[in-house]
Amino acid sequence: MRANTEMPRCIGRSALVVALALAAVAPSLAAQRTVVVSPDGPVHTITEGVRRASAGDRILVKTGTYREPTILVDKPVEIEGLGLPVLDGEGERQIMTVAADDVTVRGLHFVHVGTSYVEDRAAIRVAGVKGCTISDNRFDDAFFGIYLAEATGCVVERNELHATTNGEAGSGNGIHLWSSRGITIADNRITGHRDGIYLEFSHESEIRGNVSEGNLRYGLHFMYSNDCHYTDNVFRDNGSGVAVMYTKNVTMKGNRFEQNWGGAAYGLLLKEITDSRLEGNVFERNTIALMAEGANRLQVDHNEFIANGWAVKLAASTQDGRFTRNDFIGNTFDVVTDSRQISSTFAGNYWDSYKGYDLDRDGIGDVPHLPVRLFSLLAARAEPALVLLRSVFVELLDAAERVLPVLTPSGVNDPRPAMHRLT
């Protein structure tokens, strides 16, 4: 009898637990609904769709063109476009402001955000939130494209941003981060903006797989942004390439810096940075591939410098840098510096201009290589001298300096140059 009375009690307790669990999740299940927005439907503006939605809802925006005042997204919802609906700012206003955590904006086409000289108007502005996702959207003719301020843990991926302006003053940045942390910017394509990607006071972020080309100033520009990683991006044909300033603990790996030409252009400028690393990058056809000013304890390993004007320009303010296992191929000048005494070292690099020999055939040159040409020092101080580059005079100057290297900085040498390409 005792067993018979206990069994129903056990069953009753289990049923009670299940019922309580179902009751706990039922409200959230019920809240997961879809609000449909369409130009000819009962809900014909996105603002109205957001007003009707509850936290966790999905707002499905059907094909069409939507012209409405700035859309405020103030609750955690997912806004998804069907057929790339157009949100038109009519050249007068910001299109969308995200002011809630955990918002997703996907599959929309933002157009016509007008230039403003008193405010940073953006197609999407994300302010003071965390956990947002901005993905698979298109942006055309936007002053600023995607603007994140004081955001945390957001993802910006697979967007296309294209701007057409008459100059830097009338253009904002494609993807702009200010005072943010833990942001992922991945697989976006940005063209025609002032800076393709811009970061300021934004830490612990990852920039990967983006193509930033044809921008007016920089493909990537960041300042005061520590502990960031930049991998597998392409920065091509921008006004001045990429600039990294006033930053520490930066890793740039597997990127391509290509075709950044001009009197003040470079593939990559490093200015006042510390404890950073360049690995596995390709610098090809830039006026200056790498310019380092105040770049301390810089590690440059296994990169390719191909067909640049100046492959590496080292200022005296760059201390304790180390260049190892890099390929220098077809550059007009491989290395130039503004000082005879620098603390950066070169070891085990391949130089196609190396005139030494390898008698023991171990793949390492038997005599050191001096990568700084005397004429490169003259040209760095008086660029009009470049008209003499292919002259017999310069050939004689180089030959004399190889025999008696007294004017070039002897401290800049590779004691173990590789005889074959390393990459």
**pLDDT tens digits, residue range 319-337?**
899 999 999 999 999 998 8
Q: Do the Cβ atoms of 198 and 177 come closer than 8 Å? A: yes
d(CA 153, CA 171): 27
pLDDT tens digits, 107-127: 999 999 988 877 889 999 999
| Helices and strands, counts by H and E, the chain | 4, 39
d(CA 17, CA 252): 53
Its pTM stands at: 0.86
**Coil/strand/helix, residue 206:** strand
Q: What is the pLDDT of residue 400?
A: 57
**Coil/strand/helix, residue 51:** helix
Mean pLDDT score, 173-189: 98
Q: What domains sit in the chain, N to C, each tagged with a CATH number?
A: 33-239 (2.160.20.10), 242-423 (no CATH)
Q: Is the pLDDT of residue 137 over 50?
A: yes
d(CA 236, CA 215): 9
pLDDT tens digits, 50-73: 999 999 999 999 999 999 999 999
* Amino acid, single-letter form, for residue 320: D
Torsion on CA atoms 111, 116, 119, 124, rounded to nearest 10: 10
Cα Rg, the chain, nearest whole Å: 28
Greatest alpha-carbon span in the chain:
114
Two structure tokens written together for 59: 């707002």
d(CA 319, CA 296): 5
Q: Do the Cβ atoms of 188 and 176 come closer than 8 Å? A: no
State how beta strands 288-296 and 268-274 pair.
parallel
Q: What is the pLDDT of residue 277?
A: 97
Q: Is the pLDDT of residue 349 over 70?
A: yes
pLDDT bin (cut points 50, 70, 90) of residue 11 is very low
Indicate the average pLDDT of the chain.
87
Q: Do the Cβ atoms of 288 and 266 come closer than 8 Å? A: yes
d(CA 401, CA 336): 15
Q: What is the pLDDT of residue 372?
A: 82
d(CA 331, CA 111): 42
pLDDT tens digits, 372-390: 865 555 555 656 555 555 5
- 390 or 236, which is more confident? 236
Q: Is the pLDDT of residue 206 over 70?
A: yes
d(CA 312, CA 99): 45
Mean pLDDT score, 139-164: 96
